[in-house]
């Protein structure tokens, strides 16, 4: 008991956790562009050759764009979640670090899908990683709701919010499965999933989506 | 209506949007240097050979310098724009994220122009990307002016500011077109454009520039 | 004396030291993923070939994961340590910078161990670097306790905390030594060490661990 | 006049300039490690071969260490300088951006010196870049002293501080010149120069150094 009491007080401040998280998010979205390598062509002045090479980079541009939107969406939803907590404890910090670990991994599957856009394994792996990231986010959210929610906000929470959040998990897994039939379908699912969550889910959205 | 009300209140705070944006800006300007690769020469002690290789990097140094100035200019103009908003909503966040996506893309055309400084396509692409970035900035600016402006600041705004901001777009496109005739002319235009916007545009500047 | 007085007052503010440190921590954990290079296979559509290559990356994934947890742990423990100081002086800033230098070096031994997971020298070097990092952290901690502790917090400090912190140093060195017999044993020790410190050490933990 | 009045008021806030600068500093010191590439050896289990390759990296480790200390020193001295200003204006922002541009360039000469540690041109270039960076810092400092100093702090300033700051410039240039005779001497000068400035210069230090 004394140990847990210590967790709930002490020098942990929510604002440094936010600063650390914002830093990690900002670096991830900016690092993604490093995977867009300038093509190498022998004739430096060849316009049509360079144009052809740039067109071949299209899957990489698309992977970059999808991951950028997804990470921005996670960043955006991370705000109100942390805002629900009345203070930070060690459990929160580690669940948040685990979530950020998942986020910071995203450049790898992004590069993999960009490089092997026609390979079902690469495209499917992207969806699985995003599903895992969504689960890590849900775990963080659920922990705060159960243990750290500000009393004043407790009643305003949608009691089904956690169950609804699994729509994202299922959607990414649908994309991951679709990749084995059509990589194009998977790309479409990956792009649409974060767009669906661009604003916080309301009951009506979920009802209309037919996914719940 | 209830949905939009929710957008305009809630846990979104302007200071975390600023922190995220500042982080992205800081990372972009610092990552640009990673494109300056140390040249590879067989004789490690050859002074004249190393000197020759460094001189050949000049277009890359110049691309780096131009992009550094441009991103700093965007960062600087981003301050007062966000300062106009009385609060943040989801539309603001996503327009801002879209703008940051454009910014974070800048290392790619910078590297492309540095590597293929004599190739009109590469030099032209740089100008087009910068024009698109300026448009994304203008959209963000216009949205705040129309929907989120602080009442106390509304009267002090220049009613023609959005129209004037398109000078930058046109200027980058002029550079992009010039690249097909002379890449040197394009470099000059790209370097001069942000310098013109180093301080906020006043009516006199625009009148004197002859671009409006 | 006049020189030291100047160190203890003046314009140094603890919050910019925290901001700088948080920035460095955030960048380190995010840069670690850059060592996970997408494998290169000739047949872009070969699922089994890509799968085999990804499995061979396992040691790199594991190195990445261990370093991520270790740096997060350092970041987390860095909070309360700086919180003990009543203000910053130049000695604190430089001890902190030295500590951050050690932290920012971590991507190198991580990449080394990931690339040469079966090489005792590479695996051992990882443990030595982590031991040195822990020593740098202890030096910072001890300096604050001796010279800058807030009077109100002085009595609440565990008088044996510095001695106890050396458990981490010894643990990493045990791993570094174990690497020469079994690299697998070293990996296990490296992974367990930060987990032991996930929450601040209490007397009971140390007594139960049998390491003190 | 109206234009300059506008420069001195308005929405420019010193704290976002600090945040941006801290971000750039944090990223630079952390990026430096990316130049430490893991050596490539054919026999992955060869301990002595890996050890030999790591020893050959010593000049790169040393370049990394020197640059880390130098950038930390600039970051540290940047604090009190900005703290002297009563507010920010566009001139301050651009002088600061120019200074940060110089800082963000540092990874390049660091990598160059690390790769070509025996080449006088590479070692000399490092010193010249550091001298230019020190000049950019002095310009920023001098501008604040002349135009933006807080009235309450004006009298406490050392009237010779700018002249004294040129000791650093001269010292780096001495190192750059020494490189053409002995690269080892240059390394020593580069390492000692920031150490001399680890704490703010006092009159006695300068008198004792014999450099003024």
Residues of chain D contacting B200 with CB distance shorter than 8 Å: 6
Q: Does B4 touch chain A (CB under 8 A)?
A: no
The phi, psi pair for C155, rounded to 5°, reads -75, -25
Binary contact (B6, A200; C-beta < 8 A):
yes
**Chosen from C79, C100, C156 to mutate, greatest number of chain A CBs within 10 A:** C79
Of the candidates D34, D178, D1, the one whose C-alpha atom is nearest the C-alpha of residue D108 is D34
Confidence (pLDDT) at C32: 93
Q: Does C14 touch chain A (CB under 8 A)?
A: no
pLDDT-based confidence at residue A132 (cuts at 50, 70, 90): very high
Token duo for residue C183: 């690299």
Residues of chain B contacting A68 with CB distance shorter than 8 Å: 101, 104
Q: For residues B173-179, give the mean pLDDT.
A: 97
The phi, psi pair for A37, rounded to 5°, reads -80, 140
- The alpha-carbon gap from A1 to the nearest alpha carbon of chain B, in Å, equals 33
Collapse the DSSP code of C38 into the 3-class scheme (helix H, G, I; strand E, B; otherwise coil) and give the result.
Answer: coil
pLDDT-based confidence at residue C206 (cuts at 50, 70, 90): very low
Which residues are within 8 A (CB) of C17 and not within 5 positions of it... i.e. 6 or more apart? C82, C88, C92, C93, C96
**Residue found under tokens 């960062």:** B75
B201-209 long-range Cβ contacts below 8 angstroms, 24+ apart: B201/B161, B201/B164, B201/B165, B201/B167, B202/D3, B203/B158, B203/B160, B206/B164, B206/B167, B209/B167
**Chosen from C116, C133, C182 to mutate, greatest number of chain D CBs within 10 A:** C116
Binary contact (C121, D44; C-beta < 8 A):
no
Confidence (pLDDT) at D199: 60
- Quick: pLDDT tens for B25-48: 999 999 999 889 999 998 888 899
Binary contact (B7, A33; C-beta < 8 A):
no
- Quick: pLDDT tens for B116-171: 999 999 999 999 999 999 999 999 999 999 999 988 888 888 888 888 889 999 99
Q: What share of chain C in percent tops pLDDT 70?
A: 87
Q: Does B65 touch chain A (CB under 8 A)?
A: no
Q: Write the CA distances from D104 to A71, C114, C205, D71, integer angstroms.
A: 26, 29, 45, 10
d(CA C199, CA A147): 18
Q: To 10 degrees, what angle do helices D58-83 and D107-115 make?
A: 160
Residues of chain D contacting B75 with CB distance shorter than 8 Å: 20
- The answer to whether the complex's ipTM is over 0.95 is no
Q: Does C47 touch chain A (CB under 8 A)?
A: yes
Residues of chain C contacting A56 with CB distance shorter than 8 Å: none
Q: What is the SS3 string spanning chain B? A: CHHHHHHHCCCCCHHHHHHHHHHHHHHHHHHHHHHCCCCCCCCCCCHHHHHHHHHHCHHHHHHHHHHHHHHHHHHHHHHHHHHHECCCCHHHHHHHHHHHHHHHHCHHHHHHHHHCCCCHHHHHHHHHHHHHHHHHHHHHHHHHHHHHECHHHHCCCCCCHHHHHHHHHHHHHHHHHHCCCCHHHHHHHHHHHHHHCCCCCCHHHHHHHCCC
Binary contact (A13, C79; C-beta < 8 A):
yes
> How does the average pLDDT of chain A come out, rounded?
86
Q: Does A20 touch chain C (CB under 8 A)?
A: yes
A23 → closest Cβ in C26, C45, C47: C26
d(CA B17, CA D16): 12
Give the total residue count for chain D.
212
pLDDT-based confidence at residue B3 (cuts at 50, 70, 90): very low
Query: Please, what is the end-to-end C-alpha distance for chain C in angstroms?
Result: 39
**Chosen from B92, B115, B117, B133 to mutate, greatest number of chain A CBs within 10 A:** B115
C33 → closest Cβ in A6, A107, A121: A107
Confidence (pLDDT) at B98: 95
- Quick: pLDDT tens for D118-165: 999 999 999 999 999 999 999 999 999 999 998 888 888 888 888 888
Answer with the residue of higher pLDDT: A108 or D152. Answer: A108
Q: Which residues of chain D have pLDDT under 70?
A: 1-12, 197-212
Q: Are residues D121 and B51 in contact, defined by beta-carbon separation less than 8 angstroms? A: yes
- The alpha-carbon gap from B169 to the nearest alpha carbon of chain D, in Å, equals 22
Q: Does D112 touch chain C (CB under 8 A)?
A: no
Confidence (pLDDT) at B199: 59
Q: For residues A70-79, give the mean pLDDT.
A: 91
Q: Which residue of B has its CA nearest to D106?
A: B33
Q: Which residue of C has its CA nearest to A96?
A: C72
Answer with the residue of higher pLDDT: C44 or C74. Answer: C74
Cβ-based neighbour number of residue A64 at 10 Å? 26
Residues of chain A contacting B27 with CB distance shorter than 8 Å: 26-27, 30-31
Confidence (pLDDT) at D208: 41
Q: What share of chain C in percent tops pLDDT 90?
A: 61
* Residues facing residue D149 across a β-bridge: D85
**CA C73 remoteness from chain centre:** 7
Residue C4 has pLDDT above 60, yes or no: no
pLDDT-based confidence at residue A198 (cuts at 50, 70, 90): low
Confidence (pLDDT) at D79: 82
* Residues facing residue B45 across a β-bridge: none
Positive or negative: CA dihedral B103, B108, B114, B118: negative
Residues of chain A contacting B116 with CB distance shorter than 8 Å: 38, 44-45, 50
Q: Which residue of A has its CA nearest to C66?
A: A101
Q: Does B14 touch chain A (CB under 8 A)?
A: no
- Number of CB pairs, chain A paired with chain C, less than 8 A apart: 88
Binary contact (C105, D33; C-beta < 8 A):
yes
pLDDT-based confidence at residue A86 (cuts at 50, 70, 90): confident
Q: For residues B197-203, give the mean pLDDT.
A: 55
pLDDT-based confidence at residue C2 (cuts at 50, 70, 90): very low
Binary contact (A107, C75; C-beta < 8 A):
no
- The alpha-carbon gap from B45 to the nearest alpha carbon of chain D, in Å, equals 5
- The alpha-carbon gap from B137 to the nearest alpha carbon of chain D, in Å, equals 18
Token duo for residue A179: 């990749």
Of the candidates A194, A195, A74, A56, the one whose C-alpha atom is nearest the C-alpha of residue A114 is A56
pLDDT-based confidence at residue C1 (cuts at 50, 70, 90): very low
Q: Does C33 touch chain D (CB under 8 A)?
A: no
- The alpha-carbon gap from B181 to the nearest alpha carbon of chain D, in Å, equals 31
- Quick: pLDDT tens for C154-189: 888 888 888 888 999 999 999 999 999 999 999 999
> How does the average pLDDT of chain B come out, rounded?
86
d(CA A111, CA C50): 14
The phi, psi pair for A85, rounded to 5°, reads -80, 140
Binary contact (D68, C107; C-beta < 8 A):
no
- The alpha-carbon gap from B64 to the nearest alpha carbon of chain A, in Å, equals 15
Of the candidates D92, C46, C107, B34, the one whose C-alpha atom is nearest the C-alpha of residue A38 is B34
- The alpha-carbon gap from A202 to the nearest alpha carbon of chain C, in Å, equals 33
Q: Are residues B169 and B135 in contact, defined by beta-carbon separation less than 8 angstroms? A: yes
Confidence (pLDDT) at C205: 42
Helix then strand count (H, E) for chain A reads: 11, 0
Confidence (pLDDT) at B43: 86
pLDDT-based confidence at residue B200 (cuts at 50, 70, 90): low
A30 → closest Cβ in B12, B28, B111: B28
Q: For residues B89-102, give the mean pLDDT.
A: 93
Q: Does C53 touch chain D (CB under 8 A)?
A: no
- Quick: pLDDT tens for C85-144: 988 888 899 999 999 999 999 999 999 999 999 999 999 999 999 999 999 999 999 999
Q: Does D163 touch chain C (CB under 8 A)?
A: no
């Amino acid at each position: 008991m004394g140990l847990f009491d210590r967790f709930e007080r002490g020098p942990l401040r929510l604002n440094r956790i936010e600063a650390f998280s914002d830093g990690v998010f900002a670096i991830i979205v900016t690092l993604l562009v490093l995977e867009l390598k300038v093509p190498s062509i022998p004739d430096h002045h060849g316009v049509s050759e360079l144009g052809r090479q740039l067109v071949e980079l299209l899957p990489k541009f698309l992977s970059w764009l999808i991951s950028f939107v997804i990470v921005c969406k996670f960043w955006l939803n991370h705000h109100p979640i942390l805002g629900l907590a009345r203070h930070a404890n060690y459990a929160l910090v580690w669940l948040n670090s685990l979530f950020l670990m998942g986020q910071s991994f995203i450049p790898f599957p992004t590069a993999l899908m960009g490089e092997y856009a026609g390979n079902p394994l690469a495209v499917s792996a992207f969806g699985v990683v995003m599903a895992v990231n969504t689960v890590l986010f849900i775990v963080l959210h659920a922990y705060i709701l159960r243990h750290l929610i500000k009393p004043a906000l407790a009643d305003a929470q949608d009691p089904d919010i956690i169950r609804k959040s699994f729509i994202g998990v299922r959607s990414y897994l649908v994309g991951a499965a679709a990749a084995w039939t059509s990589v194009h379908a998977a790309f479409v699912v990956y792009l649409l999933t974060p767009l669906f969550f661009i604003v916080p889910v309301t009951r009506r959205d979920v009802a209309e989506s037919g996914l719940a």
